[in-house]
């Protein structure tokens, strides 16, 4: 349990955090998901609240329960997360830790797809909205500090630096999510912080520690 610091450095600041995976329905009984546990986003929301922030926590169906002391908005799909995020604006800062599905299944409807012997279903996809980019590139009402994540399996720094520029966010925390790192679903994270000034390599540490370090940096930047 994290006690809110009534007079913490983020007192009076409204901060949005997205977290967890999204689920994209195929039909009423099936969905496409990803391996995000929601642990890092939850730890970040908790650390921000501990510094006194008013946190709006928009979460997909995560494995870990949301932190206490934050306003929780539960969503399932990327489109719902997008809509909930824009409803929660304006805010002072936003952290996009969710693992948002890039695509949704076309024509997912109310009827279960039936198995027919010898016939395979074909799924087609359309692109989901890019929630981070839609906030980072706002012309008016943009949060002062927009922080994204980059989950990569290859060329982590090159991809992350390009992603930082493409998305238009202020900071990007990049991590290597190859299965052998144990980061997806594990208790630790090893991140690189990409800012306009360059790249900082943070040592591997507990997700709660990454969260505290990020929250402290955000408090400094927003002071
Ligand atoms: N993100 C988002 N909405 C999406 C996709 C991603 O808000 N539809 C956010 C994530 O929460 C993360 C950042 O964008 O903060 C980067 O997500 P990532 O999946 O690494 O980037 P993509 O641009 O989707 O590129 P790719 O999956 O090809 O690496
Ligand atoms: Ca993606």
Rounded average pLDDT over 28-56:
97
Rounded average pLDDT over 168-185:
90
Name the more confident of 2 and 41.
Answer: 41
* Ligand lying closest to the C-alpha of residue 21: 1
Q: Which backbone phi and psi does 161 adopt, to 5 degrees?
A: -65, -40
Q: What is the pTM of this model?
A: 0.96
- Minimum-distance ligand 1 atom for the alpha carbon of 99: 11
Dist. CA 100 → ligand 2 center (Å): 6
Q: How many Å apart are CA 73 and CA 125, to the nearest integer? A: 26
**Residue to mutate (ligand 1; options 99, 102, 172, 176; most atoms within 8 A of CB):** 102
Alpha-carbon separation of residue 166 from 107, 109, 133, 172, 178 (angstroms): 30, 33, 8, 11, 23
Q: Please, what is the average pLDDT of the chain? A: 95
Position 219 scores a pLDDT of: 98
Task: Decide: helix, strand or coil at residue 85.
Answer: helix
209 lines ligand 1 (CB under 6 A): no
Q: How confident is the model over 74-100, as pLDDT tens digits?
A: 999 999 999 999 999 999 999 999 999
């Amino acid at each position: 349990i994290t006690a809110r610091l009534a007079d913490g450095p983020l007192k009076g600041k409204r901060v949005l955090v997205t977290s967890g995976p999204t689920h994209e329905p195929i039909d009423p009984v099936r969905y496409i998901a990803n391996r995000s546990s929601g642990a890092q986003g939850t730890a970040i929301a908790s650390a921000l609240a501990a510094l006194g922030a008013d946190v709006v926590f928009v979460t997909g169906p995560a494995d870990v329960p949301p932190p206490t002391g934050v306003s929780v908005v539960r969503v399932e799909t990327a489109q719902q997360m997008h809509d909930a995020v824009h409803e929660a604006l304006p805010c002072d800062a936003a952290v996009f830790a969710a693992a948002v599905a890039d695509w949704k299944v076309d024509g997912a409807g109310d009827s279960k797809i039936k198995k027919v012997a010898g016939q395979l279903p074909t799924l087609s996809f359309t692109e989901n909205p890019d929630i981070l980019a839609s906030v980072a590139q706002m012309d008016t009402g943009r949060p002062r500090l927009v922080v994204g994540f980059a989950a990569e399996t290859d060329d982590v720094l090159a991809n992350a630096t390009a992603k930082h520029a493409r998305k238009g966010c202020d900071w990007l925390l990049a991590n290597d999510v190859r299965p052998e790192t144990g980061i997806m679903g594990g208790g630790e994270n090893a991140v690189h912080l990409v800012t306009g000034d360059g790249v900082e390599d943070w040592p591997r540490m507990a997700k709660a520690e990454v969260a505290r370090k990020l929250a402290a940096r955000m408090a400094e930047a927003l002071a």
